[in-house]
Amino acid sequence: MIRFILFLIIGGPIYAQTNPLADSLRIMQVYGEEFDLRANEKDPTARLLAKANQLILEEKDKEASAILDKIISSKEKFWYQVTKSRLLTLRGEYDQAVEILQKLNPKKGSAEAAIKELEMAKNMEHKQEYVELVKHYEKSLEHLKKTSYTYLLGTVLNDLAFAYDEAGFRHKTIQFSDQALKIFMEHYPKDYSIVSVCFNNLLFYVIEYGDKKKSSEVHEKYVQYMEHFLANKKSFSAPKKFEDLHAEGLYRLSDLRYTCFKNGDILGALNRLETFHKRAPKAWSQENVGIVNSGIEAAQYQFRQQKRFDLALKYTHQIGKYKKTSYTEMKKNAAFALTYYDAKDYKKSLPYTLKCLEEFDFPKGSKSWQTLMALKAHLESKLKMDPLSTLKTLFDATLKEDIKEFNPDKYPQHINKIFIQVLIRAAWVSNELDKPQDATFYFRLAAKIFEKYYQNGYYNDSLGEILDDLEDGLYQDKGSEKEIIENLNQLERITNAHLWGRFSSKYLQNLNLPKEELQRKNQLELRRNQLSRTYELELANHREIKEIDLQLNGIQNRLSAVSKEFAILSATNFDVREVQKLLKPKEVLVKYTTGSKNIYAHIITQNSIQLKPLGEIETVKKHTQTFIDELKKIKHLSSQIYQPLRESLIHPLDLEKYESIVFISEDFLSYVPFELLFKSMKPVSHAFNFKNLLLTRMNSTPLSISGNLAGFVPTYPNSQRDLKFTRQELGNIEDYIGSTSLFEGPQASKQNFLGSVGKYRIHHLAMHSEMDDEDFEMSSLSFYAEEKLHFHEIYSLNFPSEMVVLSACNTGSGQYLNGEGVMSLARALSYAGVRSSLTSLWQVPDKESAELMVLFYKYLSKGLEKDLALIKAKEEFIENHPMHSHPYFWAGFILTGDTRPLKEKKNYTYLLLGLGLIAAVLAYRKLR
């Protein structure tokens, strides 16, 4: 990723100085113009410093040094020392430069104080000390916010985004990149050069993060801005030579990257980029072939990901066509190797892999070399050649010791994504050679490193693919129960870190935690990462690392005291046996896992933990989609529709013998109404992960809330959307559940709902919800007049509640979305403090939904557990409405979380015995 920094003139000084415009130019590092403006100054010092700084920018060491030697005045002491430090930085003498800067003491909140921190940051970047780099940029920001140098503030925000990216904190990267863009759009919208750079950077970061919704928003604004610029260039700031071309080139490349990300018209976007490049003046196009080459590589990669190998090969041939170098040839050979590999044409892939290794001088042990050597070994195993010597060369050069003796704690530099993938390929090679023990060793080592990788604070959505590969690797060999537990615990720790990383990177601020503590936590994690980048560094800094760990533990404890949800969900330890202890007799917990190729199930009871492979993902996915599609057609469901899923998901697990079942499912399996797959319906509930189950089952303290049930029945501007049967529904529910507070029509507002939170044991929401296809957390509940409460807003609520029921839910009928969407409402409610929730997998007709809900409360009023009450309600509904016995009308409602009864059954036998005993005692006393 190229980092762009531009400094242009801004109007207006902030200090009353002898030459205020020249002083502003010095702050902005525009030294040529500053030199000219100082021509008439009596003291030549400032003018000489401007000349020296210009020469430093041009990397003219000797000339700059000669000018500094001429300066004898002490009036410009601060700027003289800054210039001297810049000269040392140019020479690579970073420690000496830092020593000079540390002695400077400019006024806090001044532009000079900001410049000092920026120069410190520049040296930290050269030293690759990204924690210190971030720290100095943040200090510079604090000073700049107290000045009027908004342009410099924007560039620093842009640089801080880059620094966070280098440190591995992508969510922070997006935050500061977004702030930089807003500053330039607000204050300098006509400066298309810097605005286009900021748009390009932000879109790149958002795409890397995998945020489809945010990327759409940024891309739309980018298109609007650049199309307006291209049509009205004369109204924008006058460009330097070719600046307008560079801005358009970045725009065309960003548009192509976005199109690839969204699986759009890739060829159209690539054609626009190439047409622009061909029409540009040769003086520019020859100098900037990297832009169009990057576009071709992006298109080739996306075609490979889509398995459109004919197009991938076509555009592989075009890599480097605008300028052929040894580097572009290496990239072309690598693209051929990977494309043929993905197409399973291993004979053609191997020669290109060898070409890359032979024709390009990769340092042995480098990440690129590791990747290619691991690919070579796997290809050799596929072609029945000897890969062991390749693996030995790979690990000898990388580790300097036997891989079987490798200790990740000793080599923190190998705690990275590339080495994890190398180990996974080594495991695949071992499987090809029929060495399952070696394969398990490599998979476990990869999982161990992956776990540390997450603990170090790194997070990226694409790492889920590695997790899938590890699940396939460790779950394919069932082993003993002890090994099953060990593998499950290890992968669950990674999965929990992955889910927590995904949640916390977006929504941690919504948990009402102290922001100062969160900020300090980020700073300490950054610092710890920096101190442990190598084994030698870790040894040298072990005392500071120990102190940081103590501080992090303290912060963790304080945050945990504030939020129980934070305590459980952020904890890195996990043992499935803790979950096992909380299961009831004759209850089974089924955890379905989708790997990269296969599906697995863990079957957990009070007494045993088993693992069962269930077949290929694509096969089960096809059966699931057919089942759901047929279910929604409200036609007779033949055994041919049920049977494939029963045979895949239920029968191999022998689940019919259990009285109640808890399912933890993921991806497309979250859409399956599992009760339909049994011979007779059983009490079924759901949890979205093990920690959620622990959270609900360990939380048994009764809620001290006076209100019983709050019902919300909004009306909508479009009366066709009104749920006509819900008013009667809530009236009937009151007969069973007791006193009910009804919020109807205008009273069913978002404000009244928020005011009711924490005042009622049960919330019954008879309203619509709308799913956001691209960002499930932006899905919403629709209150009166279509006022939205987004799912992510629910996280910020302190919402102690026994149960929330959403009785007319629309989760996107007819759309086949990732299973995360189904669970997002339940997850948001659980994080907010709700113990159980009832939601629907698809839109259920208003009338049938209302009747089913009344029956559900009827059985809850009898003291039944919630999962059993739901099954009883469904059975009675079918009996009462034979014409609506089709599962479409009732099977979509699922219970997530705590299954315990809303009220305890009264045991009249013991009550009568107790009364009899009291009567006997009283009679005895009377006789005496």
Each residue's pLDDT tens digit, 877-899: 999 999 888 999 999 899 999 99
Query: Are the C-beta atoms of 155 and 6 separated by less than 8 Å?
Result: yes
Q: Which residue has the tokens 């919504």?
A: 510
Residue 705 pLDDT = 83
What is the sign of the dihedral through the CA atoms of 732, 736, 738 and 743? negative
Residue 365 pLDDT = 83
Residues of the chain with pLDDT > 90, as a percent, come to 46
pLDDT band, residue 129 (cuts 50/70/90) = confident
Residue 490 pLDDT = 86
Nearest to 596 by CA among 575, 618, 625, 581: 618
Higher pLDDT, 459 or 616: 616
Single-letter amino acid code for the residue at 324: K
Nearby residues of 482 by Cβ (< 8 Å), 6 or more positions away:
none
pLDDT digits (tens, 9 = 90+) for 605-614: 999 999 999 9
Q: Is the pLDDT of residue 553 over 90?
A: no
Q: Which of 79-93, 325-339, 375-389, 558-572 has the lowest mean pLDDT?
A: 558-572
Ramachandran region, residue 508 (left: φ > 0; alpha: ψ -120 to 50; beta: rest): alpha
- Strands 760-765 and 769-770: what pairing? unpaired
Query: Are the C-beta atoms of 182 and 172 separated by less than 8 Å?
Result: no
Query: Are the C-beta atoms of 836 and 655 separated by less than 8 Å?
Result: no
Q: How far apart are CA 319 and CA 340, in angstroms?
A: 16
Using alpha carbons only, what angle is made at residue 888 by residues 883 and 889, rounded to the nearest 5 degrees? 55
- Strands 803-806 and 760-765: what pairing? parallel
Q: Is the pLDDT of residue 221 over 80?
A: yes
Query: Are the C-beta atoms of 768 and 721 separated by less than 8 Å?
Result: yes
User: Residue 841: phi, psi to the nearest 5?
Assistant: -75, -20
Q: Average of pLDDT values for 88-95? A: 94
User: Residue 92: phi, psi to the nearest 5?
Assistant: 85, 10
Single-letter amino acid code for the residue at 798: N
Higher pLDDT, 414 or 348: 348
Q: How far apart are CA 552 and CA 519, in angstroms?
A: 12
Count, residues in the chain: 928
Higher pLDDT, 128 or 13: 128
Q: Average of pLDDT values for 538-555? A: 81
Q: How far apart are CA 172 and CA 163, in angstroms?
A: 10
What's the token pair of residue 539? 């040894």
Q: Is the pLDDT of residue 565 over 70?
A: no
User: Residue 806: phi, psi to the nearest 5?
Assistant: -110, 100
Instruction: Output Rg (C-alpha) for the chain, integer angstroms.
Output: 32
Residue 924 pLDDT = 45
Q: How far apart are CA 835 and CA 896, in angstroms?
A: 9
What's the token pair of residue 44? 């030549």
Q: How far apart are CA 394 and CA 374, in angstroms?
A: 7
pLDDT digits (tens, 9 = 90+) for 258-316: 999 988 999 999 999 999 999 999 999 988 999 999 999 999 999 999 999 999 999 99
pLDDT digits (tens, 9 = 90+) for 717-750: 877 677 766 667 777 888 888 888 999 999 999 9
What's the token pair of residue 153? 């503030």
Nearest to 533 by CA among 458, 428, 424: 458
Q: 836 pairs with which residues across the strands?
A: 897
Nearby residues of 883 by Cβ (< 8 Å), 6 or more positions away:
none
Q: How far apart are CA 291 and CA 297, in angstroms?
A: 10
Q: Which residue has the tokens 């109007």?
A: 11
pLDDT digits (tens, 9 = 90+) for 482-511: 989 998 988 888 776 656 655 555 445 545
Q: Is the pLDDT of residue 907 over 90?
A: no
Q: Average of pLDDT values for 872-879? A: 95
DSSP state of 650: I
Higher pLDDT, 532 or 861: 861
What's the token pair of residue 920? 């006997």
Nearest to 185 by CA among 214, 217, 222: 222
Residue 820 pLDDT = 44
Residues of the chain with pLDDT > 70, as a percent, come to 85
* Average pLDDT across the chain, whole number: 84
- Strands 707-713 and 760-765: what pairing? parallel
Q: How far apart are CA 218 and CA 185, in angstroms?
A: 13
Q: Is the pLDDT of residue 792 over 80?
A: no
Q: Is the pLDDT of residue 10 over 50?
A: no
What's the token pair of residue 140? 């510079």
User: Residue 804: phi, psi to the nearest 5?
Assistant: -120, 130
Q: Which of 38-52, 355-369, 696-710 has the lowest mean pLDDT?
A: 696-710
Residue 133 pLDDT = 86
Question: Residue 242, Cα to own-chain centre: how many angstroms?
Answer: 38
Q: What distance, in Å, lies between the first and last C-alpha atoms of the chain?
A: 96
Q: Average of pLDDT values for 497-526? A: 64
Single-letter amino acid code for the residue at 386: D
pTM of the model: 0.73
Q: Is the pLDDT of residue 915 over 50?
A: no
Query: Are the C-beta atoms of 450 and 494 separated by less than 8 Å?
Result: yes
Residue 926 pLDDT = 43
Residue 371 pLDDT = 93
Q: How far apart are CA 866 and CA 791, in angstroms?
A: 24
Using alpha carbons only, what angle is made at residue 770 by residues 768 and 772, rounded to the nearest 5 degrees? 170
Q: Is the pLDDT of residue 524 over 50?
A: yes
DSSP state of 746: G
Could you tell me the CA-to-CA distances from 778 to 165, 212, 353, 772 in Å, in that order? 25, 12, 44, 6
Q: How far apart are CA 623 and CA 644, in angstroms?
A: 6
Higher pLDDT, 565 or 225: 225
Residue 730 pLDDT = 76
Residue 589 pLDDT = 97
pLDDT band, residue 795 (cuts 50/70/90) = confident
Residue 794 pLDDT = 82
